[in-house]
């Protein structure tokens, strides 16, 4: 691989084949085929489920530096109209993981030819969007054998221009949890509501009650979000719904607030059970640990970027975004940063179209930092 065009071609090939968590079979094979085409003398490659570990042995290692790139796509119907749009029905790289992987491949290509003293470990991680691949990957035998001394990752940011990185010391991304609530009452004819327990009415009441949790149970100087993004219930317009399902997400800036919010959600659900004489089941699904940037390494990285590169460094605020890279940062010191890709449409949007010139800029910048550290 050489030059911007080759990088863009790789990104576009990956963009065509998005796959959801732990089903990244084509993606894994594409990555392996490319890595196998590189000089192998100083490479060690191991697979884990649909993920990949790539170790580049250093000239005189005293430590190992980790770099993580996520692999999965989202269950979104792409609406970009691009000639390289997704070939997989109802799936799209709407979070930029195609760019993340391309940048990692570019770095591997560079460092198999320009080895540094320290070992480098590139981690292609599946299932970031769900159900979560970082935590089980962290616990794998391979990771225990090849545990880095520090680890870094990036995430594209459509709101920032190309040539900008954004990060902060400490908390960057929130604690997150999925939320699923199933209600079961008694269905019946729309003309005889007194003989039923209407779960559409119960669901609507519960959605309204859930909005009181953040406003009345979380410290106003803290932050939390409860969003119900999907409600399903009923069959046709003249039958009272026997069942309803709420699907949403909880996000908090502290683990303590997450515990409190979940406790209040469960209490409100119990109240709906009593008030609407129904059965209710609450499932918090997958939970992601906060992304917390280790202060010393982050500060050093920001100073390096300002002093030694042309990157514009922005000290950003924390965000309610969820990222399972937080599990890795809980066990390994490191940091994550935003990479500007300037797109009219944001993350998880069906028309997200990142500026591809950010790819080569990111590779040059990260390579310079890794050489500085290693």
158 and 210 share a domain? Answer: no
Q: Give the pLDDT confidence of 284-309 residue by residue, as tens digits.
A: 998 899 999 999 999 999 999 999 99
Question: How many structural domains compose the chain?
Answer: 2
Q: Are residues 52 and 113 in the same domain?
A: yes
Question: Do residue 17 and residue 145 come from a single domain?
Answer: yes
Please indicate, yes or no, whether residues 142 and 278 belong to a single structural domain of this protein. no
Phi, psi of 164 (to 5 degrees): -120, 135
pLDDT value at residue 46: 98
The residue ranges of the chain whose pLDDT is under 50 are 1
Last residue of a domain, one of 287, 315, 339: 287
Please name the residues in contact with 252: beta carbons below 8 A apart, sequence gap of 6 or more: 174, 175, 218, 222, 223, 224, 225, 258, 261
DSSP label at 286? -
User: For position 369, what pLDDT does the model report?
Assistant: 98
Q: Which of 235, 262, 287 is the last residue of a domain?
A: 287
At residue 277, the pLDDT reads 96
Among candidate residues 232, 259, 287, the one where a domain is terminated = 287
pLDDT at res. 221? 86
pLDDT in tens, 170-187: 999 999 999 999 999 999
Contact between residue 133 and residue 329 where contact means Cβ atoms under 8 Å apart: no
pLDDT (0 to 100) of residue 69: 98
Integer Cα distance of 103 and 4 in angstroms: 11
Who's near 284: CB < 8 A, 6+ residues apart?
A: 177, 178, 179, 180, 250, 262
User: Do 280 and 305 fall into the same domain?
Assistant: no
Active site residues: 70, 129
Parent domain of 283: 175-287
Contact in structure between 56 and 107 (CB atoms under 8 Å): no
Residues 341 and 199 in one domain: no
Judge contact between 370 and 64, C-beta under 8 A.
no
Q: Do 329 and 268 belong together in one domain? A: no
CATH of the domain at 161: 3.40.630.10
Q: Give yes or no: residues 154 and 186 share one domain.
A: no
- Whole-model pTM? 0.92
CATH number reported for the structural domain that contains residue 232 in this entry: 3.30.70.360
Domain identity same for 146 and 259: no
Model pLDDT, residue 286: 86
């Amino acid at each position: 691989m050489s030059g911007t065009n080759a990088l863009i071609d790789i990104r576009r090939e990956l963009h065509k084949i998005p796959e959801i968590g732990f089903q990244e079979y084509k993606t894994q094979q594409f990555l392996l085929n490319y890595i196998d085409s590189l000089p192998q003398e100083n490479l060690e490659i191991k697979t884990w489920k649909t993920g990949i570990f790539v170790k580049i042995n250093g000239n005189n290692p005293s430590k190992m530096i980790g770099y993580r790139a996520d692999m999965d796509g989202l269950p979104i119907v792409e609406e970009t109209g691009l000639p390289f749009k997704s070939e997989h029905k109802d799936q799209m790289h709407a979070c930029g993981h195609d760019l993340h992987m391309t940048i990692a491949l570019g770095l591997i290509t560079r460092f198999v030819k320009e080895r540094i003293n320290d070992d480098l470990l590139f981690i292609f991680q599946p299932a970031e969007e769900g159900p979560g691949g970082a935590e089980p990957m962290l616990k794998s035998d391979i990771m225990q054998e090849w545990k880095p001394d520090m680890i870094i990752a990036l995430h594209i940011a459509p709101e920032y221009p190309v040539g900008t990185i954004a990060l902060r010391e400490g908390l960057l991304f929130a604690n997150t949890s999925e939320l699923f609530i199933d209600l079961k009452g008694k269905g019946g004819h729309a003309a005889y509501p007194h003989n039923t327990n209407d779960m559409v009415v119960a669901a609507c009441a519960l959605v309204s009650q859930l909005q009181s949790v953040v406003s009345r149970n979380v410290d106003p100087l803290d932050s939390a979000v409860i969003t119900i993004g999907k409600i399903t219930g009923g069959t046709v317009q003249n039958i009272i719904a026997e069942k309803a399902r709420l699907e949403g997400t909880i996000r908090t800036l502290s683990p303590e607030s997450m515990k409190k919010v979940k406790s209040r959600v469960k209490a409100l659900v119990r109240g709906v059970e009593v008030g609407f004489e129904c059965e209710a089941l609450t499932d918090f699904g997958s939970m992601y640990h906060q992304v917390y940037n280790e202060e010393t390494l982050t500060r050093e990285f920001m100073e390096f970027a300002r002093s030694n590169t042309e990157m514009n460094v922005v000290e950003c605020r924390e965000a309610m975004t969820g990222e399972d890279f937080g599990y890795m940062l809980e066990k390994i010191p490191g940091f994550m940063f935003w990479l500007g890709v300037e797109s009219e449409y944001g993350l998880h949007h069906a028309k997200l179209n990142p500026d591809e010139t950010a790819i080569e800029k990111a590779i040059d910048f990260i390579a310079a930092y890794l050489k500085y550290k290693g």
